[in-house]
């Protein structure tokens, strides 16, 4: 789960990372009130979960509360790379002397954690990493040891931070690691980490991604969820403990196992080219237990997607045999009743496939037809969706 900047700022503050005063506002009037309470110049910052806000005009300096009202009015409702701005953060303006960069993330390729640090922070950090990688220190962290003050000092030196700020940067890095671990994050990033004119080191902007798989350890993270931006079908699937991602196609997909479902997406996309560009409408992995209720939940979610024109159920029987899957499909359709209205192409293979196919054939449900091969089933589902 990606957090808004104001949420990241609050987490940083809770873990002792130096930040400036900030408040979130949903209306220009709220923004004006926040600016009045802070006094002095403020920065009005669009709250969207995507980079490039500054270059898109989503970050503006305001000189007084009335100017804050005007700047917030201009930013609220703005479209930034497909994201509509519904909130702004009002932050104290800081006299910036230098801009730096710090980040801790999960390096999946290396199977461990990675700290990145640079004295060339700011809006163009991606360009710095690409064109002058020597300016970006990259240090892998032993999870058992973490980031202590000694390692933090070493990283600050490797990144060539000025000696005058190395102590402060090291302290921030230790606290950033504590935040990363305590909150079960996969990314914590400060860009920019600034040195002010009076020599202070402050986290001016933050990005945090939390591990959804650790949500059970953090009931307090529930308040961080942006329900307004969550796809309602994805929210329903989460309630049912189903692994579902909404896509932009017309062929609903149900499969067991992430690998099989990913392959199914590719096969459907390829087959769909012959039928008007039909594409997969979703990723839905029902896992190993294809019970009637699980199948009903999966079908219900897909059939509630108005973009779906047909459904492709692609199951390879393993621990759960194909006859159990077939019974689950039939029972699921009975549970759904009149809510099931779209054609369903079923491809079964693996453990007890003959019995599974027999069950579906004898049931003779008007919405269900079978295909023996994955390619054939994908083509048929795409054809039905194109009608």
Distance CA 108, CA 88 (A): 33
Comparing CA positions, the residue from 129, 125, 154 lying closest to residue 139 is 154
The pLDDT, as a whole number, for residue 296 is 82
Domain boundaries, the chain: 1-20+95-229, 21-93, 231-386
Q: Report strand pairing: 251-255 vs 310-317.
A: parallel
Mean pLDDT for the stretch of residues 226-247: 80
- The helix/strand count (H/E) of the chain reads as 12, 18
Among 260-269, 307-316, 336-345, 377-386, the least confident range:
336-345
pLDDT in tens, 145-193: 999 999 999 999 999 999 999 999 999 999 999 999 999 999 999 999 9
SS3 137: strand
Contacts of 131 (CB under 8 A, 6+ apart): none
CA dihedral 320, 322, 324, 325 (to 10 degrees): 90
pTM of the model as a whole? 0.69
The pLDDT, as a whole number, for residue 127 is 80
Distance CA 34, CA 72 (A): 11
Predicted confidence band of residue 228 (pLDDT cuts 50, 70, 90)? low
Does pLDDT of 129 surpass 90?
no
Residues classed as catalytic = 101, 189
Distance CA 106, CA 181 (A): 11
* CATH homologous superfamily for the domain 1-20+95-229: ATP-grasp fold, B domain (3.30.470.20)
Candidate CATH numbers 3.30.230.10, 3.30.1490.20, 3.40.710.10, 3.10.450.710; the one for domain 21-93: 3.30.1490.20
The pLDDT, as a whole number, for residue 234 is 83
Does pLDDT of 229 surpass 70?
no
What number of other Cβ atoms are within 10 A of residue 260's Cβ? 16
- 42-46 sheet: strands from edge to edge: 22-25, 88-92, 42-46, 59-62
Tell the CATH topology of 231-386: Rossmann fold (3.40.50)
User: What six digits make up the tokens of 107?
Assistant: 């390096």
Contacts of 287 (CB under 8 A, 6+ apart): 243, 256, 257, 294
């Amino acid at each position: 789960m990606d957090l808004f900047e104001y949420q990241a700022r609050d987490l940083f503050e809770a873990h002792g990372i130096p930040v400036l005063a900030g408040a979130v506002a949903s209306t220009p009037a709220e923004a004006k009130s926040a600016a009045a309470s802070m006094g002095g110049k403020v920065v009005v910052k669009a709250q969207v979960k995507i980079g490039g806000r500054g270059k898109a005009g989503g970050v503006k300096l305001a000189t007084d509360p009335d100017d804050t009202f005007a700047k917030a009015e201009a930013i609220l409702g703005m479209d930034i790379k497909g994201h509509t701005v519904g909130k702004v953060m009002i932050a104290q303006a800081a006299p910036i002397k230098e801009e730096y960069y710090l980040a801790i993330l999960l390096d999946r390729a290396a199977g461990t954690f990675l700290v990145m640090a640079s004295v060339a922070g700011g809006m163009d950090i991606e360009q710095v990493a690409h064109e002058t990688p020597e300016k970006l220190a990259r240090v892998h962290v032993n999870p058992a040891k973490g980031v202590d003050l000694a390692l933090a000092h070493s990283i600050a030196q490797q990144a060539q931070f000025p000696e005058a700020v190395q102590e402060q940067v090291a302290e921030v890095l230790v606290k950033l690691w504590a935040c990363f671990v305590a909150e079960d994050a996969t990314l914590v990033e400060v860009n920019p980490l600034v040195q002010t004119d009076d020599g202070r080191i402050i986290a001016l902007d933050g990005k945090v991604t939390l591990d959804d798989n650790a949500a059970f350890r953090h009931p307090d993270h529930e308040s961080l969820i942006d329900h307004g931006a969550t796809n309602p079908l994805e929210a329903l699937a989460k309630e049912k403990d189903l692994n579902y991602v909404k896509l932009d196609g017309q062929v609903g997909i149900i499969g067991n196992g992430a690998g099989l479902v990913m392959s199914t997406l590719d096969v459907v996309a390829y087959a769909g080219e012959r039928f008007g560009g039909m594409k997969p409408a979703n990723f839905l992995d029902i896992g190993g237990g294809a019970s009637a209720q699980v199948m009903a939940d999966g079908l219900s979610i897909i059939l509630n997607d108005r973009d779906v024109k047909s459904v492709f159920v692609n199951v390879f029987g393993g621990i759960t045999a194909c006859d159990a899957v077939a019974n689950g499909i039939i029972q699921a359709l009975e549970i759904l009743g009149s809510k099931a209205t779209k054609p369903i192409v079923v491809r079964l293979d693996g453990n007890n496939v003959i019995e599974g196919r027999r069950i579906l054939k004898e049931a003779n449900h008007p919405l269900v037809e079978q295909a023996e091969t994955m390619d054939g089933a994908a083509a048929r589902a795409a054809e039905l969706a194109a009608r």
